Amino acid sequence: MGEVLTTKSIIKCTSAPTPGKPAPSEPVHGGEVVTTSTSKLKVNGEPVLLRNDIGPAVSGCKTSSSASTEPCTSATVTGGEATKLKVGITGVMLADQLTGTTVGPPPGILTAEANQTKLTAI
C-alpha cells in the first residue's frame, strides 16, 4: 500500500545512488518538482496527482553550477502509478512507488512524500 500523491505532496530531486555504495541520505538538493492537478478525486481537498501532473519543471535545486554539475531544472517521472486506483484510465501516483530522473549533470532521482495518510492504494 502506498500513500496517494496530491498537490500537497512534496516531490524532491536528490542525488542518484552510486552503484555499489549505500544510497546517500544527503545531500538532498532542496529542489521541488512543480505539480499541478485538476483531478476531481481529492484528499483533504487537494486533487490527486497523475503522472502528467508532475513536472517537468524543478524549482529551487541547490546543486551548484560547475564544470561537471548543474542544478536540476527538469525532471521526468518514470513510474509510480497505482494499478488498482484510477482516475479515468490513469492510475493515481503513489509516494512509495514514484520513480523519476532529473537532467543534471549528474542525473538525479526523485523522492516523494505524500503528506497525507487518508488515502492509500496499490
Q: Which is nearer to Zn ion, 60 or 85 (CB)?
A: 60
The residue among 5 and 61 lying less far from Zn ion, judged by its C-beta, is 61
Q: Minimum CB separation from Zn ion for residue 1, in Å? A: 28
Residues 42-101, interacting with Zn ion (CB under 5 A): 61, 63, 72
Whole-number Å distance between alpha carbons of 59 and 39: 23
Q: How far is CA 101 from CA 43, 62, 67, 98, in A?
A: 26, 16, 20, 10
Of the residues 4, 5, 11, 13, which one makes contact with Zn ion according to CB under 5 A: 13
104 is an interface residue for Zn ion by CB under 5 A: no
For cell 552503484, name the residue: 19
SS3 call for 51: helix
* Least distance from Zn ion to the Cβ atom of residue 104, Å: 8
Which residues, 6+ apart, have CB-to-CB distance to 73 below 8 Å? 57, 58, 61, 103
Q: Which residues bind Zn ion (CB under 5 A)?
A: 13, 29, 31, 61, 63, 72, 108
